[in-house]
Structures are given as C-alpha cells and as structure tokens.
Structure 1
Amino acid sequence: MATSGGHSDELDAIFKQKRLLRTQVRKTLKAMDPSLRSHQGGRKLYVPRVEDKNSHMRMLNISRMDDLIANSMDILEPDPIDAEGNEREDVMQANEPVDLFLLPGLAFDKSGKRLGRGGGYYDNFLKNYQDLAKARNWEQPLFVALSYSEQILDEGVIPMTSSDVPVDALVSPAGVIPISAAALDRCS
C-alpha cells in the first residue's frame, strides 16, 4: 500500500507543478507585446511536401502564426460537417492512416514535452490513435506542436507522467525544430 500512496503523492506533485506552470505560461502569453505577437505571427509557415505517392496528406497553408495558434482548437476540432455539407471522416474510423497531427499546447520544450490545458484529451486521443495505427500496421503519424517562441521552455521544466504523449517536432516563428528520429527522417 505504501507504494501506491507514494505513486499517488508523486502524481499529485506533478499535477501541482503543471498547474503552476500553466498559470505562469498564461501570464507570459497575456503579457506579450502585441507588436511582438504580430511580428511572430506575420511569417508564413509551410508544411513540407511529402514525396510518397501513397500519402494522403491534406495540406494546410497557414499565413499567420498568430491566427493559427489562437485558433488551433478550431482547426483541430472542426464541425462534423464541412463547407460543402459533407460529413467529415472520423480518423478513428478511417481506412487510411493520418500522416500528421497539429497539436495545440501552452508550453513545449526541445525534447518533445508538451504542456496542455490539463484535460488529457489530446494525450488520450493520440495514444488511442497510436494503438490503432500499430494494430493496422500503419506508419505512426508525426505529432507537431505549434507555438510562439515564448512557449518553448528550457528542458527539464515541464513535468511528464506516463500518460503524456511527446511531440515529434515544434513549429515556431523561428522555423521547424525536429525532435524525434521520425521527424528528422520525414522533415529532411
């Protein structure tokens, strides 16, 4: 029983650290100079073209980082009906693999740690999709985080639990930062 209680105390401490870090990052983002936000948001971001003929990647042309980061929830969780009135495909029911997921977050580091909003929704979804891809013998998708430079923290600052899913690459106004071997292979 002591081990179970110790594990629970350790998780409670990690969750407390995450709550404090979320508060700090939110304050930093709120305090960002609007001209700096505009400067960082004014760059164009392009997703590299995949040369694989079997890839069914949908391209997303993003003209402003500011709009993308601020509205990433809209991009990642669209209405179930598209502009033409067609029902959107549920990726968990799809017959073809997804190549890349764009992930929001409050903070990241260059080792792939991601601090989300605290609900665990994305981590649960990504783990389920990884399991699906493995069961269907699909290549695992890349998990790419979108961030302002101020959201990229020093390594070791973001605590992680076993249920947290790391990102493969960061995209910031400074450019693409590949982290995982898969990102290095696919982004070069």
Structure 2
Amino acid sequence: MNKKLDKIRIPRKERSVNKHLFTLLSDYNKLVNRKERKFDVLLAIGVSFVVLLITVIFIHSNRDVLALFKVLNDSTIGVMAILAGFNISSLALIGAANLTFLKKINKTDLLKQILIIFAFSVILNLFLIMLGIVVSIVSSQFLQIQISLIVLWHWCVYVLLLSVMFFWVGLIIYSLLIAIRNAGLIYKFILALAEAE
C-alpha cells in the first residue's frame, strides 16, 4: 500500500461530510456578531412584510397569489445560481492566491473569516436553489390541477400561501444581504493581495 496515501488518510471520526458542514455552520454563527445578524434579519423581515402588504392589497385570489409566488420563485432560482457561482469563484480566487500571502493573512484570522463566510454563502445559495426547485414543481402542479380552482379559494389557503411567501422572500433577501457583504470582503481581500505583491 502507498505510504503517501497512508499519511493523508482521514481518521474515521473525521470522514463525515455532515460533521464538517455542522462545524462550518457553528463557526459562521460564532463569527457573525449580534448586530450584523439583527440587521440582516430585521431588514429581510421588513422587505418581506412590504411585499406581503402589497400582495394583500392588490391580490385577493389564491390562484393569483400562487402564480405570483411561482414567478418570484422561478426568478430567484436563477439569481441564487449566479450568487453560488460568484461565491465559488471567490473561493477559487482565494485558493489561487500567493501561499506566502495566505500564510500572512491567516495569522490575522482574516483568511478563516473569509472562507467561513463564503462557504456558508455557497451552502445557503445551493439550499435555496434546491428548495426553489421543489416549490416550483409543487406550485406548477397546483396551478394545473382543475380541482384546485375550488380549493384555492378558501381563506385558510390564502393565509398559508401568504405565510410561505413571506418566509421565502425573507430568506432570499437575507441571502442577498450576505452576498453584498461578500462583495465587500472580496474587495478587501484583493486590495490586501495587491498591497502584498
């Protein structure tokens, strides 16, 4: 057996990808301070509430609410795919940087912070894409089923649709706010790299 392969073998306890995922989520939770988290959550809720209010004022049909939700969702999937690509490209850019520079900024914890935030963003974007695909399929089926025309007029379904849309729009805005912060981080990283050259 190859001795080099033996040296890089990962211990059995460390082989789970899920363990690394939970570690990343925990690290992100520790990294983002309460003020940033509060700002992101409150702004996402605020924008989502405005969208909800506009929907309630102008759309009273459950079928129309579902159609609007599907349009928003389908548009969002493309945006999330672009953001995921941006975050993955940023991670690749960071990984391709000068090794001496990486070691230097690693001492200041800047490298770890950037990696945690961008990796979390990739996970969030991909999760929203998967969820968006499911939402798109389900909403398409409901819009096509003729019997749903009767069921969808019920006020309980109206409230349920608005609640789901409120939650979904909030998640999207939250993801976009993180993307804006990521753009600032990659800007800071490139400036630091340019100064080190």
- Give the TM-score of the pair, scaled to structure 2: 0.28
Relative CO higher for 1 or 2, CA cutoff 8 Å, sep ≥ 6? Answer: 2
Normalized per residue, the structure richer in strand is: 1
User: Which has the higher Rg, Structure 1 or Structure 2?
Assistant: 2
